Amino acid sequence: MRKNGAQIFVEALKMEGVDTIFCYPGGAVLYITDALYGADVRQILVRHEQGAVHAADGYARASGRVGVALVTSGPGATNTVTGIASAYMDSVPLVVFSGQVGTMLIGNDAFQEADIVGITRPCTKHNYLVKDVRDLPRIIKEAFYIARSGRPGPVLIDIPKDVSAAMAEFKYPEKVHIRGYQPTYAGHPGQIKRAVKLILAAKKPVLYAGGGIITSEAADELLAFAEALSLPVANTLMGLGGFPGIHPQFLGMLGMHGTYAANMAVTQCDVLIAIGARFDDRATGRTDSFASHAKIIHVDIDPTSISKNIRVDVPIVGDAKNVMKKMLEAVEEEKATLREYKQGIAEWLSLLADWKKKYPLGYTKGKLLKPQYVIERIYELTKGKAIIATEVGQNQMWTAQFYKFMKPRTILTSGGLGTMGYGFPAALGAQAAHPDMLVVDIAGDGSIQMNIQELATAVQYCLPVKVVILNNGCLGMVRQWQQFFYEKRYSCSLLQCTPDFVKLAEAYGAVGYAIEDEKEVDKVLKKAFSNGRPTFIDVHVDPEECVYPMVPAGAPLDQMVLV
């Protein structure tokens, strides 16, 4: 059957099982938005193209499916770059469709023309410029396959306006074959056996788990593997929720704002098992001191991540879920050795337990409300049965430290790029994916203003996201660094004209609450979490509170400022 490019677009989305698309229309995509009118694909109109991509990102992280966004050409396309780069850094599967000027106008500096393929080449897994409508079904099929397979990531498809209007026979491909792109899912059997033998010879092992655990749906295998070998587990920021936050073997998050137990364990271990983590600088600190006494096993589906930042001894390229299953099978074959191994690590586990007891995460209460207390109360009121988004900065680190994530896909945060303004639209995407779940964005008064216009989206589509604003009157993490390293010269970090967030919420047709005192926290949070409407909770917290522990940039992990 012959269809125009816009109709092919809609039919292809349906074939891929897409039920929601986050969009902002414009002239170059009017054929497509017209084809979507009345189609069985929910359109959510955001208020900024960056919000569209972050919302698609939140949808993808919370659901495990590919997130989809649609924007117009020129500034519409360029406004997506931050969201695409954030998804690329955090390995989030997205397909972003941008409109483009007609093919005959490309390269002529036409109205609202931008070379978005060239602009996004460094921050997409792959991208396409569609030059012939007959190629559109194949390109869309390939894009979804590339986005979700191997190490996931964003793919951009740029569609000229005349291509969306042109006619062609529609036949959607059944399979994808891309020469040169064949991700490896099964780890090498010999390397798996080497890894297990190395672990069973260890006296001080540590399991270091990252976002690949979430991506590969490997949380059950991680738990089984850790319990079978009595392994202490440290998570990266992206790996939170991949291992239960209250499990006795959990050491907490490692890195710049990691726990004492996690950082010291990695520093002193003799075997480090890294699964689905990429050894980024915020996790490792100074690289020549990171796990410097350890043999390192690294499991990752992306071969380019192995030995990129830290040299490893046993590389295993493969999917975390598949590899851990095989590792568990190999452990089962070593039962006699396993008993000796567990006896040999008893002293190490006792030391780790002692560190956890002596150096827990904490804070000192005072006259002013502490942000850590607010996050503790959010956890106690939800018991992990919520999706938590964060912005970036102090709010992000306090959330990682004081909210106990119990399940995968319950934390949405911009880990690699550190994008202020990410959390609120990402929370909207998660709410669209899970309409019956409580979704909370923990924000700062600086970061929430980056994409605050998406409150209109929340109200229009009845997305009852709760935004808890830790309002300290400043760009908190910037102010903290200025306090520590710049002799308290608070240049451009104090927000001296912050809006009344309660009135602002009400102006959009949402609900607003304010909290000034500790005794109001539970009462207001309970009311907000049960009201069924988009809600801002403006919580006035101690403006001088800092995130501890802290490893100064470039320092080894064991050089922590504890208080």
522-538: b or e for each residue (b if 16 or more CB lie within 10 Å)?
eebbeebbeeebbbbbb
70-104: b or e for each residue (b if 16 or more CB lie within 10 Å)?
bbbbbebbbbbbbbbbbbbbbbbbbbbbbbbbbbe
Residue 264 confidence (pLDDT): 98
- Rg of the chain in Å (alpha carbons): 24
Residue 368 confidence (pLDDT): 96
CA dihedral 373, 442, 244, 60 (to 10 degrees): 180
Q: Exactly one of 3, 141, 161, 295 is catalytic; which is it?
A: 161
Torsion 147-150-152-158 (CA) sign? negative
Q: Are 133 and 168 in contact (CB under 8 A)?
A: yes
Helix (H) or strand (E) holding 304: none
Q: Are 200 and 218 in contact (CB under 8 A)?
A: no
Residue 52 confidence (pLDDT): 98
217 in active site: no
Residue 45 phi, psi dihedral angles, 5° rounding: -80, 110
Distance CA 371, CA 373 (A): 5
Q: What is the pTM of this model?
A: 0.97
Helix (H) or strand (E) holding 554: none
- pLDDT tens digits, one per residue of 504-531: 999 999 999 999 999 999 999 999 999 9
Q: Exactly one of 3, 9, 11, 49 is catalytic; which is it?
A: 49
Q: Are 79 and 72 in contact (CB under 8 A)?
A: no
For 371-540, CATH gives 3.40.50.970
The identity of residue 418, as a single letter, is G
- pLDDT tens digits, one per residue of 270-283: 999 999 999 999 99
Joined together, the tokens standing for residue 376 give 């503790």
Q: Under 8 Å CB-to-CB from 75, ≥6 apart: which residues?
A: 49, 112, 114
Residue 446 phi, psi dihedral angles, 5° rounding: -85, -50
- pLDDT tens digits, one per residue of 203-222: 999 999 999 999 999 999 99
Q: Exactly one of 111, 332, 485, 526 is catalytic; which is it?
A: 111
477 in active site: yes
Residue 453 confidence (pLDDT): 98
Contacts 24+ apart (CB under 8 A), 74-77: 74/26, 74/28, 74/111, 74/112, 74/113, 74/114, 75/49, 75/112, 75/114, 76/24, 76/26, 76/28, 76/49, 76/112, 77/49, 77/114, 77/116, 77/119, 77/158
Residue 550 confidence (pLDDT): 97
Neighbours of 203 (CB within 10 A): 13
CA dihedral 525, 531, 535, 540 (to 10 degrees): -20
112 in active site: yes
Q: Exactly one of 406, 477, 550, 560 is catalytic; which is it?
A: 477
Residue 127 phi, psi dihedral angles, 5° rounding: -150, 160
111 in active site: yes
Neighbours of 500 (CB within 10 A): 12
| pLDDT tens per residue across all 563 residues of the chain | 899 999 999 999 999 999 999 999 999 999 999 999 999 999 999 999 999 999 999 999 999 999 999 999 999 999 999 999 999 999 999 999 999 999 999 999 999 999 999 999 999 999 999 999 999 999 999 999 999 999 999 999 999 999 999 999 999 999 999 999 999 999 999 999 999 999 999 999 999 999 999 999 999 999 999 999 999 999 999 999 999 999 999 999 999 999 999 999 999 999 999 999 999 999 999 999 999 999 999 999 999 999 999 999 999 999 999 999 999 999 999 888 999 999 999 999 999 999 999 999 999 999 999 999 999 999 999 998 999 999 999 999 999 999 999 999 999 999 999 999 999 999 999 999 999 999 999 999 999 999 999 999 999 999 999 999 999 999 999 999 999 999 999 999 999 899 999 999 999 999 999 999 999 999 999 999 999 999 999 999 999 999 999 999 899 999 999 98
Bridge-based pairing of strands 295-300 and 271-275 is parallel
Domain 2-169 identical in fold to domain 371-540: yes
Sheet-wide strand order for 126-129? 42-45, 20-24, 67-71, 94-100, 154-160, 126-129
Residue 529 phi, psi dihedral angles, 5° rounding: -70, -15
Burial of 459 per CB tally in 10 Å (0-12, 13-18, 19+): middle
Q: Exactly one of 43, 112, 453, 483 is catalytic; which is it?
A: 112
Distance CA 465, CA 432 (A): 10
Joined together, the tokens standing for residue 76 give 């519409």
Residue 230 phi, psi dihedral angles, 5° rounding: 55, 40
For 189-358, CATH gives 3.40.50.1220
How is the chain split into domains, by residue range? 2-169, 189-358, 371-540
Q: Under 8 Å CB-to-CB from 77, ≥6 apart: which residues?
A: 49, 71, 98, 99, 100, 114, 116, 119, 158
Is the domain defined by 2-169 classed in CATH 3.10.100.10? no
Q: Which of 204, 194, 197 is nearest to 234 (CA)?
A: 204
Q: Are 313 and 249 in contact (CB under 8 A)?
A: no
161 in active site: yes
Q: Which of 122, 279, 135 is nearest to 210 (CA)?
A: 279
Task: Please give the DSSP secondary-structure letter assigned to residue 274.
Answer: E
Q: Which of 484, 512, 469 is nearest to 369 (CA)?
A: 469
| Residue 321 vs residues 185, 214, 252, 429, 434: alpha-carbon distances, Å | 9, 10, 21, 26, 25
Distance CA 423, CA 426 (A): 5
Q: Under 8 Å CB-to-CB from 7, ≥6 apart: which residues?
A: 35, 170
